[in-house]
Amino acid sequence: MLRIGKIVATHGLGGSVIMTHIIGHSEWLKKEDILFVEMNKNSHIPFFLTQVKATNNEEYLLNFEDIATVEAARRLVGKHVYVKEDVLAKHAQDSPLLWIGFKVIDKNHGDLGIIEDVMEAPTQWLAKLTYKNKEVLLPLVEQTVQQIDLKMKIIKMNLPEGLLEVYLS
């Protein structure tokens, strides 16, 4: 599953919530899609949508089955939201969110490991992985990413000299 956003507020008295997302456009989420809310760490509870309305490219106004009051909706505020990979694959072919689980191979250092998570920074996406028992953040930018093999789930990179050494010192 891929983390795509967070429920940030309730809306009105009927159980609606506002979800921010990191997909970059507002056409991907459909009423028939199922969202998974992380109610507790590593506990993803499915929620079925009854209404989806994009308010802008970063937010959706959502209604879920069985959430009909503002009190019930408040329990979801602050929770991370996930979708199954195939939901995003239909709408975001080149999204770095789809690269979670890909193996990273650097031109100079070889196999660096598997991407555990991706994060959107103000100017770029970052891949989080564990390299030599250290958490490493790699920039997913045109200058470093040489090739992406979606079928084999491999990303070939050419990292700037010294980047990995910063994490290992």
Q: What is the pLDDT of residue 79?
A: 95
Mean of all residue pLDDT scores within the chain:
88
Q: What is the pLDDT of residue 72?
A: 95
127 SS3 class:
strand
Which pLDDT tens digit goes with each residue over 115-140?
998 888 888 889 999 999 999 999 99
Q: What is the pLDDT of residue 157?
A: 95
Rounded to whole angstroms, the Cα distance separating 162 from 169 reads: 11
Rounded to whole angstroms, the Cα distance separating 28 from 92 reads: 8
Residues 12, 67 within the same domain: yes
Which residue segment(s) compose the domain that 65 sits in? 2-89
Q: What is the pLDDT of residue 136?
A: 95
Residues 125, 160 within the same domain: yes
Rounded to whole angstroms, the Cα distance separating 148 from 85 reads: 17
Residues 8, 74 within the same domain: yes
Residues 83, 102 within the same domain: no
Which pLDDT tens digit goes with each residue over 49-82?
999 998 887 899 999 999 999 999 999 999 999 9
CATH number reported for the structural domain that contains residue 47 in this entry: 2.40.30.60
CB distance 39 to 98 below 8 Å: no
Residue 15: which pLDDT band, with cuts at 50, 70 and 90? very high
Q: How many domains does the chain have?
A: 2
Residues 73, 135 within the same domain: no
Which pLDDT tens digit goes with each residue over 139-167?
998 899 999 887 788 999 999 999 998 88
Residues 78, 119 within the same domain: no
Q: What is the pLDDT of residue 137?
A: 94
Residues 61, 135 within the same domain: no
24 SS3 class:
coil
pTM of the predicted model over 0.85: no
Q: What is the pLDDT of residue 122?
A: 82
Please name the residues in contact with 155: beta carbons below 8 A apart, sequence gap of 6 or more: 99, 102, 103, 104, 105, 115, 127, 145, 147, 148, 149
CB distance 125 to 96 below 8 Å: yes
CB neighbours of residue 142 within 10 Å: 8
